[in-house]
Structure 1
């Protein structure tokens, strides 16, 4: 990164440090830093020991514009998620120079990105999801009945939010229900690698943890067996489609197939469970908003979008500049790394009225939680459908709701959300 560029727009060290501290994404400090950055250095350089310097992009408009320009700002040239210099070096050593342990859609640029996206895109289009509505509603009804049987107290994350979208995506993929606890644990270990409660090596202090790819290996071993079975005995599930996919007339590689399974099996439920829990948390703290949406069920789609904005499960993605460019009064150089801070863009005062208020009737709600441009989330329609159906089943029966303890968020810079949400409630 250009020394001159970094010097001109360097973020103060105390603010920069917050951007890479997983605990700050759990305790709320990250939002304080985002507010400061939007007001004082909305596109500045974070220089932190042990991490390559990067531009922190905190304004809604700038995140949107960078997301539109996929040729100028690449996903695949460097890691699309924040990694330390040590981790980056180890990955490159293991992967023959590539900065990627996996090769999912988020690691790809044109022309490969569109080719691989089209393999499964039809599965996630609204017209095709309609055929799943009855199946998803049955899963939602079962989740609501489980909650009703809890006797007026439960941890909504652990007993409802984690399992409902997990059951949906695993049924679509063709993963047996008996394997869902394994899939959930692996997902939490993957996304919660920095969380002292969720990490695989949770007993080791974060500063002493070494880079570990065992979770990816375990995922790959599981799905490799699934893949071999679906090649021999294809069905109509998503796993069969991935197992038998071809690009340019050739079967996709083992790395690309395993990567596809892993991204669908993790992002396909984790972010939805976070937004679902985030919604109930917000409703428990805002009884007037709960009363409003209960009185007018037509507001449920608005509740869904507002909870996605409010929670923003995918907090950050990284992009790499492919050329020198003057952008937002900054001189960005070829090879510069940029952090898109979606959770900041979704609280940007210039884009949202009273952004720190939870409003089920917020209009317009042009949140960035699904990304934008070529990398717009493939599963956004499924996520919204799952959440809509759950609220259609739960809200008419929910007569009282309040927090029943202290909720907690997971500690992660990339993807995070509620990990505990104790509530008390009454259901009709």
Structure 2
């Protein structure tokens, strides 16, 4: 058993683990039972503690003073960690809401928070519905068969984000490619190359693109979140170029790739659970609970890291100041102590205390937008959908951060 538990811990540092949900959840279930706070010392990675129980993840998320995002907010290979540390020293590293803590985090978060409140999202609804119609119309035009992940779900959320930022649709292709390279740096179909340190080159390209956007919005502000960020002040001072560009990057990339992964995974789940699809078509009032279940089921963000600011004990395990802890969201979202029949896809599941948006001060800024996008897509698709089935083998991206389907061949009947 000890060897199996060690292997289950080590798999969390393997991007390929996330291409096989059966293997992933078998290992996570074992860790929850046998070693829910588990020390992992994997080759090419700095050591970390894997935290796999819902209650422990919640305890850590709530206590943002004792468990900090900095200096290691995401799991990455040692070589990339070292390269990013060098970029921090050079002032060229990302400094997003994911990377900072305390008062600084609170003040920076407030800059964009108003744009993601439900009341503001409702004003975005007409644009979102226009884009959902365009996407479902595209499905109809494709003649009943498509790769939903590559042809539909990859594009729809990105167009929404471009609208929010006020970016031209002509820049769609570039932003799509850079987002895929940033989050897919471990996947051979997405990475610029498979050298972990090459991810920093993508950050350089994103900085170059958004530097031009920031200069434009400072010279001529418009009614979009890009102008709000570019002209924001904290304590009477404009944000640094590094903070402005980092803010643009987190809004543009995280708001796109995660929603894309959830939407594709939701369509796969409905295709594989036709009784749930029939239930949802018969009762559209279930769409809000279906959206949360899709987000729980897919869990696009596989983990975030927290760093212990002081010595402490977690589930009887001694954690030292400076230790890093990996919060495994796919594991928390299948915790048998919280979810009845956690491996059952249930569009009517309630309550649904999933962890896919995090919790506490670092709760996902774009949660309301993501849920609105998925709900709007279902509201447009379901009345027009007569049939849905898989038309080939789905494929998940190799990643241990933001993941999801990269291929989802489906066969369907959608009315024009």
TM bin (shorter chain):
over 0.9
Mean Cα displacement is larger for which, 377-386 or 26-35?
A: 26-35
Deviation at 1:50, TM superposition (A): 2.4
Asked if residue 273 in structure 1 is aligned to residue 266 in structure 2, the reply is no
Mapped to 2, the partners of 1:395 and 1:15 lie a distance apart of 39
Mapped to 1, the partners of 2:81 and 2:377 lie a distance apart of 40
Aligned residue number for residue 375 of structure 1: 362
Deviation at 1:212, TM superposition (A): 4.2
Asked if residue 227 in structure 1 is aligned to residue 214 in structure 2, the reply is yes
Aligned residue number for residue 243 of structure 2: 256
Classify the secondary structure of the residue corresponding to 1:338. Answer: strand
Aligned residue number for residue 123 of structure 2: 131
Match of 2:148 among 156, 167, 184: 156
Deviation at 1:93, TM superposition (A): 2.6
Asked if residue 247 in structure 1 is aligned to residue 234 in structure 2, the reply is yes
Classify the secondary structure of the residue corresponding to 2:89. Answer: coil
Asked if residue 192 in structure 1 is aligned to residue 177 in structure 2, the reply is no
Mapped to 2, the partners of 1:106 and 1:209 lie a distance apart of 20
Classify the secondary structure of the residue corresponding to 1:347. Answer: coil
Mean Cα displacement is larger for which, 353-362 or 27-36?
A: 27-36
Contact kept, 8 Å, 2:95 with 2:246, in 1: the verdict is yes
Per-residue CA shift, 1:153-174, capped at 9, x if unaligned?
Answer: 0111112111111111111101
Asked if residue 304 in structure 1 is aligned to residue 291 in structure 2, the reply is yes
Deviation at 1:55, TM superposition (A): 0.8
Deviation at 1:30, TM superposition (A): 1.8
Mapped to 2, the partners of 1:307 and 1:191 lie a distance apart of 21
Classify the secondary structure of the residue corresponding to 1:23. Answer: helix
Quickly say closer, same or farther: Cα 1:375–1:212, change in 2 above 3 A. closer
Asked if residue 361 in structure 1 is aligned to residue 364 in structure 2, the reply is no
Mean Cα displacement is larger for which, 410-419 or 24-33?
A: 24-33
Aligned residue number for residue 21 of structure 1: 14
Mapped to 2, the partners of 1:323 and 1:97 lie a distance apart of 28
Aligned residue number for residue 145 of structure 1: 137
Contact kept, 8 Å, 1:165 with 1:269, in 2: the verdict is yes
Deviation at 1:97, TM superposition (A): 8.3
Per-residue CA shift, 1:390-425, capped at 9, x if unaligned?
Answer: 110100110100000011111100110011110000
Quickly say closer, same or farther: Cα 1:15–1:124, change in 2 above 3 A. same
Match of 1:30 among 24, 28, 35: 24
Per-residue CA shift, 1:246-278, capped at 9, x if unaligned?
Answer: 111101011111100000000111111111111
Structure 1 residue ranges, 4+ long, deviating more than 3 angstroms after superposition: 9-13, 208-212
Asked if residue 384 in structure 1 is aligned to residue 384 in structure 2, the reply is no
Deviation at 1:94, TM superposition (A): 3.2
Aligned residue number for residue 82 of structure 1: 75
Contact kept, 8 Å, 2:83 with 2:197, in 1: the verdict is no
Classify the secondary structure of the residue corresponding to 1:111. Answer: helix
Quickly say closer, same or farther: Cα 1:10–1:127, change in 2 above 3 A. farther
Q: CA RMSD in A?
A: 1.5
Asked if residue 166 in structure 1 is aligned to residue 158 in structure 2, the reply is yes
Q: Is there any run of 5+ residues in structure 2 with no aligned partner, and where?
A: none
Contact kept, 8 Å, 1:80 with 1:107, in 2: the verdict is yes
TM normalised by structure 1 equals 0.94
Contact kept, 8 Å, 2:146 with 2:409, in 1: the verdict is yes
Aligned residue number for residue 94 of structure 2: 102
Contact kept, 8 Å, 1:370 with 1:376, in 2: the verdict is yes
Aligned residue number for residue 46 of structure 1: 40
Deviation at 1:87, TM superposition (A): 2.1
Quickly say closer, same or farther: Cα 1:209–1:117, change in 2 above 3 A. closer
Contact kept, 8 Å, 1:13 with 1:47, in 2: the verdict is no
Contact kept, 8 Å, 2:5 with 2:34, in 1: the verdict is no
Mapped to 1, the partners of 2:275 and 2:317 lie a distance apart of 43
Asked if residue 336 in structure 1 is aligned to residue 330 in structure 2, the reply is no
Contact kept, 8 Å, 1:11 with 1:45, in 2: the verdict is no
Deviation at 1:14, TM superposition (A): 2.0
Per-residue CA shift, 1:47-83, capped at 9, x if unaligned?
Answer: 112222111000011101110000000001x220112
Deviation at 1:215, TM superposition (A): 0.5
Mapped to 1, the partners of 2:85 and 2:11 lie a distance apart of 26
Aligned residue number for residue 72 of structure 1: 66
Q: Is there any run of 5+ residues in structure 1 with no aligned partner, and where?
A: 1-8
Mapped to 1, the partners of 2:56 and 2:368 lie a distance apart of 25
Deviation at 1:224, TM superposition (A): 0.4
Per-residue CA shift, 1:286-330, capped at 9, x if unaligned?
Answer: 000000000000001111100000000000100000011122211
TM normalised by structure 2 equals 0.97
